[in-house]
């Protein structure tokens, strides 16, 4: 099973992870294709957040987490990489919008660049503008870049967080239920944005909203109780699932 027009940039091989007692995910094998959107769906507690956190080693911020197996970014095992450098290539957007409250809108987007040092010829202001445009936020905030980020609405804050992640030009963007704290209109904007962004980078998103996965993603993985039950093209997963458990979930029989 592969995508003939692209290649797998990120790959999990035999990945298991757990917090102390028992594994939250078991033996996950999954490909994430370059410049495609991959959705991970499943009921609460199925391990989808654990899986996505392992992809840029954010799981290490929870004490006592153990991981076995391999995650390869362009064929390099990320567990042998410097986590700081890894996270500059694999960015993350979280469930609740989390802009830095003490900073202005501009500084929020610039934060990653100030940390990592500016690359190339472009000025900070240019990169901030580009990133905000990519996140479809620039027109809404261009006159108030120096205002506190917390003055924005929830949906705008989440797009600001996406702009902040984009500013360091990651290869992969991980989104952990990015719309679960947002209203339907803000959600629609983010979905539209993701579809625009996939020309530029690889997107992995966790969602418990099946319609969202069906609308946005190219590939879908269905997880249940720590296992990746089925992984395939989104249209196939939603129309002709091979596993009866997937069938049950997408038809709403549980979850």
Partner 1 sequence: MSKGGAVAGLTERAGDRLFRYGVLCAGLAVVGLAAALALELASGSRLAWSEFGPAFLWSSSWNPVSERFGALPFLYGTLVSSALALAIAGPLGVGSAIFLAELAPRRISDACCFFIEILAAVPSVVLGLMGIFILVPGVRAVSPFLIEHLGFLPFFRGTPYGVGMLTAGLILSIMILPYITSISREVLLSVPRPLKEAALALGATRWETVRLVSLPYARSGILGAVFLALGRALGETMAVTMVIGNSPRISASLFDPAYTMAAVLANELAEATSDLHLHALMAIAGTLFMLTLGMNALARWMILGTPTARRRP
Site of interaction with partner 1 (CB under 8 A)? 56, 58, 61, 63, 84-85, 87-88, 91-92, 94, 96, 98-103, 111-112, 115-116, 148, 150, 161, 164-165, 168
Q: How far is the CB of 102 from partner 1 (least distance, A)?
A: 4
* The residue to which tokens 């809108």 are assigned: 105
What are the DSSP calls for 181-192, one per residue? TS-HHHHHHHHH
Nearer to partner 1, 19 or 43 (CB): 19
Residue 221 region, left (φ>0) first, then alpha (ψ -120 to 50), else beta? Answer: beta
* The residue to which tokens 């153990």 are assigned: 66
Query: Given 3-state DSSP classes, what are the helix, strand and coil percentages for the chain, each rounded to the nearest 5?
Result: 40, 25, 35
Q: How far is the CB of 109 from partner 1 (least distance, A)?
A: 11
Q: Are 34 and 67 in contact (CB under 8 A)?
A: no
Residues 6 or more apart in contact with residue 131 via CB below 8 angstroms: 109, 163, 164, 166, 167
Nearer to partner 1, 13 or 96 (CB): 96
Q: How far is the CB of 128 from partner 1 (least distance, A)?
A: 14
Q: How far is the CB of 59 from partner 1 (least distance, A)?
A: 11
The kind and range of the H/E element at 108 are helix 105-116
Nearer to partner 1, 119 or 253 (CB): 119
The SS3 assignment for 156 reads helix
Nearer to partner 1, 35 or 107 (CB): 107
Nearer to partner 1, 39 or 161 (CB): 161
Q: How far is the CB of 247 from partner 1 (least distance, A)?
A: 35
């Amino acid at each position: 099973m592969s995508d003939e027009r692209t290649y797998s940039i990120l790959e999990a091989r035999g990945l298991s992870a757990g917090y102390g007692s028992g594994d939250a995910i078991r033996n996950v094998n999954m490909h994430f294709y370059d410049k495609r959107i991959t959705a991970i769906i499943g009921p609460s507690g199925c391990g989808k957040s654990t899986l996505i956190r392992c992809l840029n080693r954010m799981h290490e911020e929870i004490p006592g987490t153990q991981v076995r197996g391999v995650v390869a970014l362009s064929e390099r095992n990320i567990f042998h990489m410097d986590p700081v450098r890894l996270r500059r290539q694999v960015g993350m957007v979280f469930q609740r919008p989390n802009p830095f409250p003490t900073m202005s809108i501009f500084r929020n987007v610039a934060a990653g660049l100030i940390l990592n040092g500016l690359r190339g010829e472009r000025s900070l202001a240019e990169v901030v503008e580009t990133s905000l445009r990519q996140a479809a936020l620039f027109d809404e905030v261009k006159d108030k870049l120096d205002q506190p980020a917390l003055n924005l609405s929830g949906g705008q804050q989440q797009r600001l967080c996406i702009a902040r992640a984009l500013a360091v030009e990651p290869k992969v963007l991980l989104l952990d239920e990015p719309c679960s704290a947002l209203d339907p209109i803000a959600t629609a904007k983010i979905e539209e944005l993701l579809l625009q962004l996939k020309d530029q980078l690889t997107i992995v998103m966790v969602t418990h909203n099946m319609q969202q996965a069906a609308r946005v993603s190219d590939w879908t993985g269905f997880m249940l109780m720590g296992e990746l039950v089925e992984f395939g093209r989104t249209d196939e997963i939603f129309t002709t699932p091979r596993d009866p458990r997937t069938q049950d979930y997408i038809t709403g029989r549980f979850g």
